[in-house]
Structure 1
Amino acid sequence: MTLACGYIGAGLMGAPMVRRLLAAGTDVRLWARTPEKIRDLVEAGAKLAASPAELCRQADVVITCVSDTQAMRSVVFDRDGLAEGAASPKILVDMSTISPQRTIEMASRLHAETGMIWIDAPVSGGQVGAVNGTLAVMAGGPAEAIDKVRPMLAHLARAVTRVGDSGAGQYVKMLNQTLVSTTYLMVAEVLNFAERMGVDAAAVPEALRGGHGDSNLLQQIWPKMLARDFTVTGTLDTLMKDLGMVRGIAQERAAPMPLNALVAEMIRKRIQDGHGQDDVSSLFKLYAS
Structure 2
Amino acid sequence: MNLPDRVKIVEVGPRDGLQNEKETIPADVKVELVDRLTDAGFANIEAASFVSPKWVPQMATSAEVMARIRRKPGVVYSALVPNMKGFEAALAARADEVMIFGAASEAFSQKNINCSIAESIERFREVAAAAKQHGMRLRGSISCAMGCPYQGEVPVESVADVVRRLKALGCDEIDIADTIGVATPRQVQRVMERAAAEFPLERLSGHFHDTYGQALANIYASLEVGVSIFHSSVAGLGGCPYAKGATGNVSTEDVLYMLRGLGIETGIDFDRVVDAGQFISSHLGRKAVSRAGNAIAAKRAA
Larger helix share, 1 or 2: 1
**Interval containing the TM-score (normalised by the shorter chain):** 0.3 to 0.5
Normalising by structure 1, report the TM-score: 0.34
Larger C-alpha radius of gyration, 1 or 2? Answer: 1
Normalising by structure 2, report the TM-score: 0.33
